[in-house]
Structure 1
């Protein structure tokens, strides 16, 4: 965790000088590039600061151990159902929504409705039927 914090925090050392070099080269007339590069540097500092604070609060994790084994990180990541068709329904609805943004806004409610049906089906998939818990 500490290594990740150092890597993210060091982004400010790159992006801050690059932002000012970009600003000088464009005479600070270009109103998007300089603030954007500066904000990327500040964002990397913010993420690095969060990781430093998180490292200080939880201590060493298995990824920090140089002699660690893969089995040290072996824990349950979550429950996934490989036979479920509901993620395809949600993805279809989201895809139709994105097409609606590009083609015409009247398509978005149809995609939203399909995505909502898929989301409800995904959430309640294990409440009824053969796979109820």
Structure 2
């Protein structure tokens, strides 16, 4: 078992212990109506968080078993061993700024619940995302 799955199994055990402590602790606490009882929202949230952490731990264990040794599990590893391939970032691309503007239009549409603005912002966001993704794959425009 490698480090990622160990961390997630540790989080799972912590959350499981918290569910065991939290459930009986809420039974003996009076609420505003002076009624004893379990507090279901917290118990359900902690239980679902425990199951989610367990799901991630099992997934990491399965994937780490099939992968090579990772630099964080190797004692003699250098920082450069984890760096990998660095991406290419276009210094003169207009599309990240245009995408930010599209997200602004979409956000304003959601805030003020103007459906035409939501549709416009979503369409602009799809257009700018495609243009950003394909800026070097599409043929250049003739000037």
TM-score range, shorter chain: 0.7 to 0.9
For residue 109 of structure 1, the aligned residue among 99, 111, 119 is 119
Whether the 8 Å contact between 1:8 and 1:44 is mirrored in structure 2 is yes
Does 1:121 pair with 2:127?
Answer: no
**In terms of Rg, which structure is larger?**
2
| TM-score, scaled relative to structure 1 | 0.82
SS state at 1:118 partner: helix
| TM-score, scaled relative to structure 2 | 0.77
Computed over aligned residues only, the root mean square deviation of the Cα atoms, in angstroms, reads 2.2
Between 43-52 and 29-38, the greater mean CA deviation after superposition: 29-38
- Specify the alignment match of 1:55 in structure 2: 64
Whether the 8 Å contact between 2:106 and 2:122 is mirrored in structure 1 is yes
Change (3 A) 1:120 1:12: closer
Whether the 8 Å contact between 1:4 and 1:51 is mirrored in structure 2 is yes
Pairs within 5 Å for 1:1-133 = 2-27=2-27, 29-106=38-115, 107-126=117-136, 127-129=138-140
Shift of 1:74: 4.1
The structure with the greater share of residues assigned to helix is: 1
Question: Structure 2: any 5+ residue segments left out of the alignment?
Answer: 28-36
Aligned length: 130
Change (3 A) 1:105 1:24: farther
Deviation digits for residues 29-56 of structure 1, max 9, x if unmatched?
4332111111111111111111111111
Shift of 1:86: 0.7
Whether the 8 Å contact between 2:24 and 2:38 is mirrored in structure 1 is no
Change (3 A) 1:31 1:82: farther
Question: Structure 1: any 5+ residue segments left out of the alignment?
Answer: none
Change (3 A) 1:72 1:90: same
